[in-house]
Amino acid sequence: MAEKRIAVLASGRGTNLQSVIDGIKNGNINNAVLQLVVSDNERAYALERAMANGIEALWINPRTFKGSEDYNDAILEALRKRRIDLVVLAGYMKILSAAFVRAYRDAIINIHPSLIPSFCGSGYYGERVHREVLEYGVKVTGATVHFVDEGTDTGPIILQQAVEVLPEDTVDSLAKRVLRIEHILLPRAVDLYCRGCLRKEERRVIIEAN
Amino acid sequence: MAEKRIAVLASGRGTNLQSVIDGIKNGNINNAVLQLVVSDNERAYALERAMANGIEALWINPRTFKGSEDYNDAILEALRKRRIDLVVLAGYMKILSAAFVRAYRDAIINIHPSLIPSFCGSGYYGERVHREVLEYGVKVTGATVHFVDEGTDTGPIILQQAVEVLPEDTVDSLAKRVLRIEHILLPRAVDLYCRGCLRKEERRVIIEAN
């Protein structure tokens, strides 16, 4: 099977991007090449990480486009030019257009810092998730890697892992512990995808040894 | 602290009731006496379990009451007569009235076979929960013990534990594995309550050593 060409979309620090870079380097992610990092934010540290690792870094400025659809089309064009197979969202804060999702159906992976379907959907991103988790008073949260569909955080789930909420947890301490799990799950999901180990049955994602 | 007097409300097999009976017998539940089992269902096996263990078993027939409020008032009266401190819902299929919930504010405990707030709310009971879990394709589910408030499954969470969903799981196999966790969590929550170890901060339930 041909090596999968990956693009990562990121808006911020890019620690999840780093987990993919590291995964490819240390052999946890197989049959993959990280071709491109795209950001909507010129100052995203994710772009620095890309350049520091010899990966093409592309800032596409949303302000130079009429609207979200045009903007998404521009990213899509950049991906197609580079024959990207898999799109990984790693802290990417913009909504993908329906056309984008259709173009990369079952080939866009997102990581979310909760056990979907809890604490997800529009408005649930970043610290907000953990704050709501603490306010609700759940005793178990976690992280989810899923395929992206037209909804927000509604796509088929690839991997999940639980994280215990501790009595002394703050938003910060909980976010850190969940992030550690994100950095395990995301490279694992990317590896499974690139080795062709993921099969869908209705909404269920079946993991097959390959 | 005076021994807490418990009533269990159950509609069916009563395996969660059995976990409370066993917990008191084997000393996992302290400072508690199981005073009464109430069922809306004459043929609930829970009533047999009560009688087999020398616990008063009360069938209160919903058909002999005008409506849900009157029915709830009748149960409430039975509980008050016996000076019940804690009400445990163990597979109880009827909705409690607002008056009932007010009368036993923070003194009604329910067990739910999922990680609330996932797969809960009206309509989510019994096998339905696990079927939806499997159809959604989550990789982690679990069980939740919570205080009952006026909503359905919305009250403050006392204990939760995660259960992995396995690729080969059926509704039956998953229900069985989650039930095993329910039988651990429910007696533990009852024990914590009866020993006065539960304190509420807003929606969060804090567990204190006592």
Q: Which residues from chain B sit within 8 angstroms of residue A140, using beta carbons?
A: 115, 142, 160-162
**Pick among A106, A116, A138 to test the B interface (most B CBs inside 10 A):** A138
pLDDT score, position B1: 86
pLDDT of B190 reads: 98
Cα separations in angstroms, B155 against A15, B79, B110, B177, B205: 36, 21, 9, 24, 10
* Chain A: residue whose CA lies nearest to B206: A167
ipTM strictly over 0.90? yes
pLDDT digits (tens, 9 = 90+) for B42-78: 999 999 999 999 999 999 999 999 999 999 999 999 9
Residue B210: pLDDT over 80: no
**pLDDT for position A1:** 86
User: Which portions of chain A are predicted below pLDDT 70?
Assistant: none
pLDDT recorded at residue A209: 84
Contact A137 B167 (CB under 8 A): no
Q: For residue range B121-151, what is the model confidence (pLDDT) as tens digits?
A: 988 888 999 999 999 999 999 999 999 999 9
pLDDT > 70: what percent of chain B?
100
The strands making up B32-39's β-sheet, listed across from edge to edge, are B56-59, B32-39, B4-9, B86-89, B108-112, B140-147, B157-164
Annotated catalytic, B146?
no
Q: What is the pLDDT of residues B7-49, one digit of tens each?
A: 999 999 999 999 999 999 999 999 999 999 999 999 999 999 9
Quote the number of domains for chain A: 1
pLDDT at B18: 98
Shortest distance between the Cα of A126 and any Cα of chain B, in A, equals: 19
- The domain of B169 spans 4-207
* Residue A200: closest C-alpha in chain B: B137
The predicted pLDDT at position A126 comes to 83
Average pLDDT, chain B: 96
Task: Read off the CATH number of the domain in which B62 is found.
Answer: 3.40.50.170
pLDDT value at residue A187? 98
Euclidean distance between CA atoms A42 and A58, whole angstroms: 9
Question: How confident is the model at residue A125, as a pLDDT?
Answer: 84
HEC letters along chain B: CCCEEEEEECCCCCHHHHHHHHHHHCCCCCCEEEEEEEECCCCCHHHHHHHHCCCEEEECCHHHCCCHHHHHHHHHHHHHHCCCCEEEECCCCCCCCHHHHHHCCCCEEEEECCCCCCCCCCCCCCHHHHHHHHHHCCCEEEEEEEECCCCCCCCCEEEEEEEECCCCCCHHHHHHHHHHHHHHHHHHHHHHHHCCCEEEECCEEEECCC
Give the per-residue pLDDT at B135.
Answer: 97
